[in-house]
Amino acid sequence: MSAPSVAAPLLHLRDLAKTYHTGEVEVKAVRGVTLEIQRGEFVAIMGASGSGKSTLMNMLGCLDQATGGAYLLDGDDVAKLDRRQLAVLRNRKLGFVFQSFNLLARTTAIENVELPLLYTMPLTSAKERRRRAVEALERVGLGNRLDYHPSRLSGGQQQRIAIARALVSQPELVLADEPTGNLDTRTSIDIMGLFQELNESGITIVMVTHELDIATYCKRVIVMRDGRVISDNVNADRRLAAEALATLDGAEKEANVA
Ligand code: ADP
Ligand code: MG
């Protein structure tokens, strides 16, 4: 047997930068970010509006290219990959979750979740697409809503569908940009509980939030300001969503009795 190789970090950013040029104006959205994220981490990226969080996330998700520095995803320098290789990488390794869910309205839950499997190489059969979509929806607790259209579901349920869609290709990394931004407090904690479960099962999660409350459910908190990382800390007081929900429910019951 060969000696175990030293695993590369899942994400490795070296002086990563992004400058937007719009007409005469130059916006330095990300100004040199260096960091590593290992497999199994659950990272919150925080910072005021305009601090570069979404720009950074778009680069992490290979949706947008850096204008400086390097980004290695699982050891691969993404700048050296062509469009097709990037598409394959995105499809195999990454799942995306957005603030506004981004579901197709005229399409059922299961059809929404099957969607990413239409673009796999090699192709995934219709039967296999369905099997995996059902499995993903069951995993997020919506096995009984397969044929519902998003409009008939609550915001929290819609976000669960979006998470199932992110999971259906069995990604190693889930990137979520303000996934609780459109949800009430209880539903937000509920969604954080789902992310904590996924993280426990081995999926690496990087999510943007501007709510400190939400970041307390993550294992590591990175704060950005003006395109730079200004702090990066392990969250020693990480809260468990399941416990927070139980406390909330207890408080509600007491209020009802009173
Ligand atoms: P955040 O997600 O933290 O609110 P963004 O990454 O969206 O921040 O934006 C960082 C900066 O980059 C802002 O000044 C924003 O106006 C600018 N910016 C973002 N996207 C673009 C774009 N496509 N073209 C030009 N400027 C942009
Ligand atoms: Mg943003």
Q: pLDDT for 120-136, tens place per residue?
A: 878 999 999 999 999 99
Check whether 94 has a pLDDT greater than 90: yes
- Among all ligands shown, which has an atom nearest to the Cα of 177? 2
The CATH number corresponding to 11-250 among 3.90.1150.10, 3.30.420.40, 1.10.10.10, 3.40.50.300 equals 3.40.50.300
- The pLDDT of residue 5 is 52
Check whether 67 has a pLDDT greater than 70: yes
Within 10 Å of residue 14's Cβ, how many Cβ atoms?
15
Tell me the mean pLDDT in the region 75-97: 92
- The pLDDT of residue 6 is 67
CA-proximal residue: ligand 1, atom 16 (nearest) = 50
Check whether 91 has a pLDDT greater than 60: yes
Spatial distance between the Cα atoms of 157 and 101, rounded to a whole number of angstroms? 10
pTM, two decimal places: 0.93
Cβ of 188 closer than 6 Å to ligand 1, yes or no, is: no
CA-proximal residue: ligand 1, atom 18 (nearest) = 29
Mean pLDDT of all residues in the chain?
94
CA-proximal residue: ligand 1, atom 5 (nearest) = 52
Is the Cβ–Cβ distance between 99 and 179 less than 8 Å? Answer: yes
Is the Cβ–Cβ distance between 207 and 235 less than 8 Å? Answer: no
Bigger pLDDT: 110 vs 88: 110
Cβ of 116 closer than 6 Å to ligand 1, yes or no, is: no
Q: What is the pLDDT of residues 220-256, one digit of tens each?
A: 999 999 999 999 999 999 999 999 999 998 888 888 8
Residue from 201, 122, 215 nearest 163 by CA = 201
Cβ of 13 closer than 6 Å to ligand 1, yes or no, is: no
Cβ of 53 closer than 6 Å to ligand 1, yes or no, is: yes
- Among all ligands shown, which has an atom nearest to the Cα of 178? 2
CA-proximal residue: ligand 1, atom 27 (nearest) = 20
Check whether 2 has a pLDDT greater than 50: no
